[in-house]
A and B are shown apart, each in its own frame.
Chain A
Amino acid sequence: MTNQRTITLRLHADAAWITMVQGVAKQCGAVFGLDHGKALRLTMAVEEILAYLADLTPQAPLELNLTPGASHVDTTFSFAARDADLWAMNITACGADCAEENIQAMGLLLAARMSDGLDVRRDGANVILRLRLDRSYPGLETRQAERFAPRGEVLFQPALDPSRIKEACALATALYPEAVVPQAFRTPGKVVDQILGGELSGAMALDQGGNVCGFMTWSPRSATSVSFCGPYVFTSEKTVVARGLTEHLVGAVARTPVSAILSQLPTEDLPREDVELLGTLPLLAADGTPCPMPIWYRGMREDNGLAVWTHPELEGFLRTAYEQLFLMRNIHAVSHQGEQVAGRSVFATSFQPEASQALLIPMLDGADASDTLHGHVQLLLSEGYRNILIHLDLAHGWQAALAPVLLKNGFKPRVLLPHAGQADVMVLQHAGS
């Protein structure tokens, strides 16, 4: 669904339209609140993508949407593409030794570098390239803080007051280790815009003196799951506030389509009795320091089973995980059995540079999956990424069938995320990263 303020252009993939598209992007960037530098980057990025698409699918019908988000501008290019053309969506399509035939992919790489986020998703025959440019926000001034005793009863409510949201960001940043505080908290104005714009939700704990005693945020992860950060507790007695914030989150998503609450950046204050530990990812910080990340789960409804796919090589891991979680699943085995696999494989990549983390998501199976994956890993390692993860949505047999390719390329199954995709999602991590 498009935002009422969305600007839409319908055109053909033709380089002749570059100047026109640049003009629209520049104007929209300014109107939608990007500063001059960011608007310029948006202009250059759309130029690169249109040139890239003109080369990839010449004259194909194309829809360009520019939409203001709460704290960013989204630009999407929607077009129909043949499987064979999708190969160029791999970040490895044009590496250091970019062959002449792959030079077109350079545009995508350049656009990714100019933006704050680029992802590709596929919806049937339609491909959607989404480019995100964040607005610029002033950074948080460093401050010291100490936990305090609340004045009177602490009450919990949705976080909607900008001043208190900014105070909460500052307190969380001062009182918690960097690894468990979202990057956005360091630009509190962005968190305010995200919450008031409906992209992020928050719970706030306030005492009778109006002091901010705790904070917790969450946002959609999939159609049926949310992921949360926190709880961040600023009072000396932590248990009551942590429990109240967590219960507020659970209450807020109860009676919604959300089936699962999953942790993104959990703090040590998370009440353990109401959540289940799915596993711990042995992550590394950007400087190489071990930074193990536990992943917690809270089911929101009575789980009466799902059908999932697995390759026999991952079946043992899967069965153990389901047994430990008491989750009932119809597990169907799938593997390649000599059938022809069309085209080249595609893996979408999303980056979190601040966490030195890259996430790969299979978009298309192909006979060259192993080589493509190997290329991705090499490229990401050479770029200094310490944490390379891959997500398999077990609703899709073809993704599950990729298991031998993943294992051969050094990935190990780590955690199972219930309901995190169309079905459950298996997280694998590159062992060398």
Chain B
Amino acid sequence: MLDLERLVPAHVRSFEVYTPSRPDQELMRLFRVAHLHRLNNNENPLGPPPEAARIIEGFPPRLTPIYPSGDAYALRRILAGRFSKSPDQFLVGNGSCEVISSVIKAFCAEGDNIVTADRTFAVYEWVAEFSGIEARLTPLKDFGFDPDAMLAARDARTKILFVCNPNNPTGTWWDTATLRRFLDAVDGRQIVVLDEAYFEFVDQIGFPDGMKLLEQYPNLVVFRTFSKMYALAALRIGYLCGSPAVVDIIRRTHVVYSVNSLAQQAAAAAMENDGPFIAATRAMVAAGKEKILTLCEELGLTCQCGEGNFIMIRVPISDTLLYRKLMAKGVMIRTMTGFRFPGWIRVSLAQEYVMEEFCGAMLGVLRP
């Protein structure tokens, strides 16, 4: 007889299964709407960049029987050229979730712990916990990562510190001086992961570029993704960059052949001439922020507006109820209860007509 109680480790048994949202068609049927604006996953509706779009449209079926490059050989060379690094400093994964998993597996054993914030991208915490590794969570301070609290949370078994910069969902960020102070205080005793998933959206003086700090801090590992700015979320591709010695260790726990050929080619193409695409996206995000700030002022709502293509709003009803009411109007946002921000929503910033529809839906629900 199958004895799951004996077979399944306690940390897996107690872990909550993450249930992704249903496909759009199914949601539209359920909520009886003819269209659905996806403002829940911080996707870039302008994308992908035209160079990547051409690769996707022209991908030859004759290539599908052939395995992809197992270690994204060509893409790593392109990344190395772009960032003036060695290809061996890069690892490409099936989305940044995969590289999170690889880093934790590489450095953590039973009894070890990681440190991150309590209200940030949840996957650091999830991967640690379902791997049997303790996730130590420090409270945000003024919506931002608290470097002192993170340093204080460490002990001899702390292996990795995860910093999301800018932070999802609050948009707060550490400037270069803060990040340097933090790295100096860590002094190589732990691996510091700097998740820069929203790096390309930021245009602020003083915002640090993790890639430029790698030489000075060999314990630093930088994450980037093609899912956000480059709008390749459906292809699942992200990467990490670190010192050769650290990446050599992570490579041992990293699954090869996990990134498909189309994703590798599209990612490479996306970076070819990304300047105009990034500028257009930033303009769309800036306009979206203006619109939402005006809406919040009109409705008397508090909002948390930082960097990234999203904004958080404190709403006067339960966030989960607001989700249902907005869904019935064809607008999908992210509730923040699961991010430990009950009563808040996060809205991805999209084209003007979409933001207008969002604002109209909010007014319809909150000021009927």
Hey, which chain B residues are within 8 Å of A304, CB to CB?
21-22, 27, 30
The yes or no answer to B318 lying at the interface (CB within 8 A) is yes
Contact B335 A273 (CB under 8 A): no
| Closest Cβ–Cβ distance, residue A158 to chain B (whole Å) | 14
Hey, which chain A residues are within 8 Å of B32, CB to CB?
328
Give the residue of A276, A301, A325, A327 whose beta carbon is less than 8 angstroms from that of B335: A301
Q: Which residue of B lies closest to A326 (CB)?
A: B324
Hey, which chain B residues are within 8 Å of A328, CB to CB?
30-32, 324, 327
Q: Which residue of B lies closest to A305 (CB)?
A: B30
Name the segment of A6-14, A246-254, A423-431 touching the other chain: A246-254
The yes or no answer to B35 lying at the interface (CB within 8 A) is no
Give the residue of A251, A257, A298, A305 whose beta carbon is less than 8 angstroms from that of B320: A298
Hey, which chain B residues are within 8 Å of A251, CB to CB?
340, 342
Tally of B interface residues using CB under 8 Å? 30
Contact A255 B317 (CB under 8 A): no
The yes or no answer to B325 lying at the interface (CB within 8 A) is yes
Contact A255 B340 (CB under 8 A): yes
The yes or no answer to B185 lying at the interface (CB within 8 A) is no
The yes or no answer to A294 lying at the interface (CB within 8 A) is no
Give the residue of A247, A250, A305, A327 whose beta carbon is less than 8 angstroms from that of B22: A305
CA distance in complex: A303, B27 (Å): 10
The yes or no answer to A279 lying at the interface (CB within 8 A) is no
CA distance in complex: A256, B125 (Å): 13
CA distance in complex: A387, B328 (Å): 37
Tally of A interface residues using CB under 8 Å? 25
Hey, which chain A residues are within 8 Å of B335, CB to CB?
301-302
The yes or no answer to B12 lying at the interface (CB within 8 A) is no
Contact A327 B318 (CB under 8 A): no
CA distance in complex: A276, B22 (Å): 24
Contact A247 B342 (CB under 8 A): yes
Hey, which chain B residues are within 8 Å of A255, CB to CB?
16, 122, 125, 338, 340
| Closest Cβ–Cβ distance, residue B294 to chain A (whole Å) | 23
The yes or no answer to B9 lying at the interface (CB within 8 A) is no
Contact B5 A274 (CB under 8 A): no
CA distance in complex: A274, B335 (Å): 13
Q: Which of A220-266 contact B (CB under 8 A)?
A: 247, 250-251, 254-257
Hey, which chain A residues are within 8 Å of B21, CB to CB?
302, 304
Give the residue of A250, A257, A305 whose beta carbon is less than 8 angstroms from that of B337: A250
Hey, which chain A residues are within 8 Å of B327, CB to CB?
326, 328
Given A276-B321, A326-B321, A327-B324; A301-B31 close (CB under 8 Å): no
16 contacts between A and B (CB under 8 A): A251-B342, A255-B16, A255-B122, A255-B125, A255-B338, A256-B16, A273-B317, A274-B342, A274-B343, A298-B318, A302-B320, A302-B334, A303-B324, A304-B27, A325-B324, A328-B324
Q: For the complex of A and B, list the 6 residue pairs with the smallest distance between their C-beta atoms, beginning with the closest.
A: A299-B320, A326-B324, A250-B342, A328-B30, A305-B30, A257-B16
A interface residues (Cβ-Cβ under 8 A, vs B): 1, 247, 250-251, 254-257, 273-276, 298-305, 325-328, 330
Other than A255-B338, A304-B22, give 10 A-B pairs with Cβ distance below 8 A: A247-B342, A254-B339, A254-B340, A255-B16, A257-B17, A298-B318, A299-B321, A301-B337, A305-B30, A326-B325
